[in-house]
Amino acid sequence: MRTLDLLILLPLLATAALADAPLRLTNGEPLVCMYTFTHWWEPWKSSDDALRADFQRLRAMGVNTLLIDHEWSQAIDGNWKLLDRGHRLAKECGLRIVPWLSLKSWSDISPGGRAELAKQWFGVDIRYGLTQDGKAAAPLIYDGSVLTAGAKYAEMYLDRYLDQALLRLRWNGAERPVISLSVESAWEGSFDETTNLMFCRWLRARYADIAALNQAWGTTYGGFFEVDPTDKAIFDYAASGSGKAAHQQAVEDHVEFRSETISDSLARMAAMVRRKHPDVLIMAEVPYQYGSRHPHAMGYRVGYGATPSSCRYADIVLFRNTGPIDEAEAKVVRAEQALTGQKFILTYRTYSDWDVQPDDPKFAQSVELYAKQGAELASGFGFYSFNEMVDTHLAFSAQVEANGWTAERAERAIGLAGAMIRRYREIAGPQ
């Protein structure tokens, strides 16, 4: 297993109260999910038979919900054909789907041909931002054109798949469908004049007095509207990911501004979707657990604004954990639960050291640790991910370079995940 002091973490879980009753499907099963793909990048080619075999195996393991990229750029491919196939096969195998409906940064509405397609599909002219160097950037997440496009795609998706394999949960006495408006909580931001002005106004509301800002940042501005985020001497994003920027707090504030802009924008988009589908629940996805010090997690937080603030619009927040949540990370999760009342789902990335034999003591320790965290720190449980590209290690394909991963090692990892699922379902209890 990963280097981790299990004996330290297990007492933490033993003393933790259940955060919430488990999220349950309409048949009463506790939510157990798995990332997978029904189609994606070259050289991977997936057939109906291959997907059906995967889905049947996942269902037999106790998985009941698939987490699948169904963003607009994939709906374009074959005019919904491959998304239709995913729903058809999932329904056939007794599985439900939570779709991620846009790429992070909304970059599936890219300039050129897709911008023209967006105008044809959604009737909008997409507005794009600028990088810190003044080059073309991702769409402006807060702009009406992007909100309209995202809301209309979600509405089209719900109209098409509401009675197919789309996930429905028991929620406060009602059965409600679930979608995610975006793949990952992310927006790279923009350094155009309008967005920079929004940031200056945000700073004025945050600090009230320019002297307070200067003290926090180590700067000498005469007023809030002198702040220029394109100034790399102050907003040194290149050094800020490791916390070594000369004016780190300036960058941290800009990250927080972007994070709040994500949440505010997607809240507006969700409100638009709910005009036609008032009962839909919105799930947000975080690429790393809150508070993670993993280098990639720190990079995502700074580069994409992936902080707790970015997800506060959502009813449910799903984490892709790098491993079991430690005590410091659990504190952040509990604080967000108390602040927002949101439901949380823990999904765990699998790694090459997951090929643990059942007779290894680490096997039983890990089963108990992971399953208890899913029940005691959150309301749902799952893994990232089951696919033949072997970007994580719960499947194997001889046709894809697997960096030393083998079919035998994959089977041991699958066996470990299956034992964790069974234990989680035992803890969650019957409906």
CB contact at 8 A, 74 and 35: no
Quote the CA–CA distance of 338 and 15 in Å, as a whole number: 18
pLDDT reported for residue 243: 75
Who contacts 401 (Cβ-Cβ below 8 Å, separation ≥6)?
A: none
Closest CA to 415 of 345, 338, 358: 358
pLDDT (tens digit, 9 = 90+) per residue, 254-266?
Answer: 999 999 999 999 9
CATH of 6-185+280-428, one of 3.40.50.2300, 3.90.1300.10, 3.40.50.720, 3.20.20.80: 3.20.20.80
pLDDT reported for residue 9: 41
Q: Residue 45 pLDDT > 90, yes or no?
A: no
- Is 377 buried (19+), middle (13-18) or exposed (0-12) by CB count in 10 A? buried
Other Cβ atoms less than 10 A from the Cβ of 174: the count is 9
pLDDT reported for residue 289: 95
pLDDT reported for residue 13: 39
Question: Per-residue confidence at 132, pLDDT binned at 50, 70, 90?
Answer: very high
Q: Residue 118 pLDDT > 80, yes or no?
A: yes
Domain extent listing, the chain: 6-185+280-428
pLDDT reported for residue 17: 38
What's the whole-number mean pLDDT along residues 43-55? 81
pLDDT (tens digit, 9 = 90+) per residue, 300-343?
Answer: 999 999 999 999 999 999 999 998 999 999 999 999 999 999 99
Can you spell out the DSSP letters for 202-265? Answer: HHHHHHSSHHHHHHHHT---SSGGG--TT-TTTS-HHHHTTT--TTHHHHHHHHHHHHHHHHHH
pLDDT above 70 covers what percent of the chain?
91
pLDDT (tens digit, 9 = 90+) per residue, 365-390?
Answer: 999 999 999 999 999 999 998 876 66
